[in-house]
Amino acid sequence: MRLPNLICLALWFSCSSLSAQPTYNRIARDTIVAHHGFLNSSYLLNGKKMNPSVMQWFMSDYAEAYENIRISNISEQVSIASYSVGSIFVLTGFISESQNPKISKDLKLWGALGLGSGIVFQVISGRYRRKAVDHYNDDIQTIYQTHNRPVSFKLRLGSGQLKSVLAF
C-alpha cells in the first residue's frame, strides 16, 4: 500500500471515534452547552453566557448537579482568596526586601504558596463545574426524552440475553 493511502486510512480510523456536542436544534431546551478553551471554559444556555451563580440557581432542583456546582463555587471563592493573600504577601516581600531580606524571602515564599494554592483551587472548581453541567444535562435530557417520546421500545443484547424494554 502506498504512503498516501496509509495516511488517509490512519486518519480515517483515528477520526472515526471523534464525537462532538449536539447542535442547538438537536438538544433539549435548557441544556447547558460548554465551550472549552485553553485555560477556561464558558457555559452557554440558549446562546447566552452563564455565570456560576446563575448556573447554581438553574441546578437547584437537581441534587447531584447542585452539590457539584456548590462545591465549584466554594472552591472558586477560596481560589480568589488564595490569589489575593498570595499576591499581598509577594508584594510585601518585594517592598521589604531592602530593609529585611530574611523576612522578605519568607514573605515571597508564602506568597508563592498562596498563588499556587489559588491555581489548584481554580482547577478543582473547573472540574466540579464540568461535572455539575454533565449531571444537569443528563437530568434535562432524561426529562426531555420522557416528555417528547412518551412510548419507546428498545432491544438490548447483554450477557447472552436479549432484553426488550418498553418505556412509557
The tens digit of pLDDT for each residue in 128-142 reads 999 999 999 888 888
Q: Let me know: does 132 contact 76? Beta carbons within 8 Å.
A: no
Backbone phi, then psi, for 88, in 5-degree steps?
-65, -45
Is position 1 within any domain? no
Does any domain span residue 6?
no
| pLDDT value of residue 16 | 58
- SS3 for 3? helix
Amino acid at 91: L
Question: Using CA atoms, how far apart are residues 7 and 59, in angstroms rounded to an integer?
Answer: 46
Residue 17: inside a domain: no
Number of domain units in the chain = 1
Q: Check residues 54 and 21 and name the one with the higher pLDDT.
A: 54
Residue with the larger pLDDT of the pair 81 and 145: 81
How far is residue 83's CA from residue 122's CA, in Å, rounded to a whole number?
Answer: 10
Residue 11 in domain = no
Q: For residue range 23-63, list pLDDT tens digits in order.
A: 544 556 778 888 887 777 888 888 888 888 888 998 999 99
Full-model pTM: 0.67
* 162 pLDDT tier (thresholds 50, 70, 90): low
CA atoms of 147 and 141, how far apart (whole Å):
10
Q: Tell whether 8 is covered by a domain.
A: no
Q: C-alpha grid cell for residue 165?
A: 424494554
Residue 15 lies in a domain: no
CB 96 within 8 A of CB 107: yes
Residue 94 lies in a domain: yes
